[in-house]
A and B are shown apart, each in its own frame.
Chain A
Amino acid sequence: MGIGYIIGIWLAGFLTIAIFTFLYKDNPVYKFAEHLYVGVSAGYIMAIDYNNILKPNLFGNIAIAYDSTVNKGVFDLAAWSYLFAGVLGVMLILRVIPKVSWVSRWPLAFMVGLGAGLNIPVTMDATILAQLNSTLCSVWLPNDPGTMVFNILLLIGVCTGLIYFYFSIEHKGIFIGGASRVGIAVLMISFGAAFGYTVMARISLLVGRFLFFRDEWWPTLDIIMKSIGIS
């Protein structure tokens, strides 16, 4: 266990406690940790993105295109096409200059169009048709009562949920009004389940920090105590 590791662990411990101090009230120590986190994250992502995207995809390919055109006399259209993406990227950044900010709409439109074109067919297939298919299940399975109850609940849940979101008819009367109320109940149950999972996720993060203090920070404290003659 080197000194660098111990410093790192203590820094992580200090920053964890600094963030936790917000639970009492907002304070300068919390603000320091928050700003440090935002700054380090932005810097890290920027460096990663430069090395993984800009450098190999844009600069790397333009260098290849330039080399093949100038030195070999071959016009490499595929490599030069990356310049088009680079220009679109620059146009997107122009958003920060109010006078020419309208230029950024063009690459944005390109991205929206490309994204929609690529995603609509697969999303339609995987999230609508496949889900519809799985809803079309048998509700009469006398030999498997467990599955039968599940399938009936699934059918009721889907139908009443859809009726709740059907706004062309007023939600009144026994059929539409009643089904709509059942739909609300189904939605509430699903929100409850989602909330339960969210609580679990947040508690997990707290568990993670406490495990860090027990398994990583505490052993370094022991080492420090021993090195200064307190055991």
Chain B
Amino acid sequence: MLEKLANLDRRIIFLFVGLAVLIPIIFPLGLPNAVSQPVQNIYDFVETIPEGSLVFISFDYGPSTKIECEPMALAVTKQLFRRNIKVVGWALWPEGASMARNVFDVTGKEYNKKYGVDYINLGYKAGGSITIKEIGEDIRSTFPQDVDNISIDKYSVMDGVKNYKNFKLGVSVSAGVPGLREYIVVANSIFGVPIAGGCTAVSAPEMYPYLNSKQMVGLMGGLKGAAEYETLMNYVGDASKGMDAQSIAHLLIVLFVIMSNIIFFMQKKK
């Protein structure tokens, strides 16, 4: 029996994990979702930004991490639009420009915001850290046109915008490099712009030191962070819908870890 359990076919584990995710998605449990301080900090900071101010969002993710990153981008953009704050979006990832388009299409319609007046999508720019530095010197030379190749001078939202000094906050929703870390290292460290961020769960642990050193306003880590922001915004989005499944799957994995350790030590005793 012990031998059988120790050599359990991994496909059985896959099946259990699949069921642990699938069942709560079909039959939601409505488990509570407590808001952590790093997420609350971003929400509170946005609440202090005066109406009509400018905030930039860098969409540094692609379709492969859409489930984690898009709910964060949606929730933050909704709060900014609800507070009548203008949003300038751009991307350091090639697929980021179309991700930004998705987010602005949904939120712009919901809050009746006008493209070019209340928000703008400047598209993708290669270069990572160098591009971030260039924006700090002159945003117009970095992004002379928007995502549809129309001069940014034609849009009122860009009137008088020169560099980071025009932005009250920068938000990087990132799935890796270049992304949140590069904004902290360049935009915050050199130009002093407050940076808030959302990142995939994989990269969240390496972001906590920046939170501790106050180089970041706050952090949304993975689907959980996105679900917390949705809770603060008082709506049920994709992240909140997935949290039941996430919690049950985690519980199952913890059980598997405990079980495998017990089997390991029992085998060692023998």
Contact = CB atoms under 8 A, between A and B. Distances in A.
Q: Do A and B bind each other?
A: yes
Interface of A: 23-24, 44-45, 48-49, 52-53, 118-119, 122-123, 125-127, 130-131, 133-134, 154, 190, 193-194, 197-201, 203-208, 210-211, 214
- 9 nearest CB pairs, A to B: A208-B67, A134-B213, A201-B201, A126-B189, A207-B242, A200-B201, A48-B94, A204-B223, A126-B185
Nearest to B64: A205
A203 B224 CA distance: 11
B129 to A, nearest CB: 6
B202 A52 contact: no
Interface stretch (B120-128, B152-160, B260-268): B120-128
A178 to B, nearest CB: 25
A168 B209 CA distance: 27
Given A130-B215, A200-B250, A201-B222, A207 B245 contact: yes
B83 to A, nearest CB: 28
A133 B213 contact: yes
B238 interface: yes
Interface string B176-193: 000000001110111000
Given A201-B200, A204-B222, A207-B242, A52 B123 contact: yes
B238 A122 contact: no
21 contacts: A24-B11, A52-B125, A52-B126, A119-B129, A122-B186, A126-B215, A131-B209, A134-B214, A193-B205, A197-B201, A198-B201, A203-B249, A203-B250, A204-B201, A204-B222, A206-B18, A206-B21, A206-B249, A207-B21, A208-B68, A210-B25
Contacts of A205: 64-65, 67-68
B109 to A, nearest CB: 17
Interface string B1-39: 000000000010010011001100110000000000000
A210 B200 contact: no
Contacts of A126: 184-186, 188-189, 215
Interface of B: 11, 14, 17-18, 21-22, 25-26, 64-68, 94-95, 123-126, 129-130, 133, 184-186, 188-190, 200-202, 204-205, 209, 212-215, 221-224, 238, 241-242, 245-246, 249-250, 253
A207 B246 contact: yes
A118 B130 contact: yes
A123 B184 CA distance: 10
A44 B209 CA distance: 35
> Per DSSP, are chain B's interface residues mostly helix, strand or loop, or mixed?
helix
Contacts of B249: 203, 206-207
A44 B205 contact: no
Contacts of A197: 201-202, 204-205, 221-222
A130 B212 CA distance: 10
Contacts of A199: 250, 253
Contacts of B126: 49, 52-53
- Which of B22, B188, B202: most chain A Cβ within 10 A? B202
A127 B22 CA distance: 41
A200 B246 contact: yes
Contacts of A131: 209, 213
B209 A201 contact: no
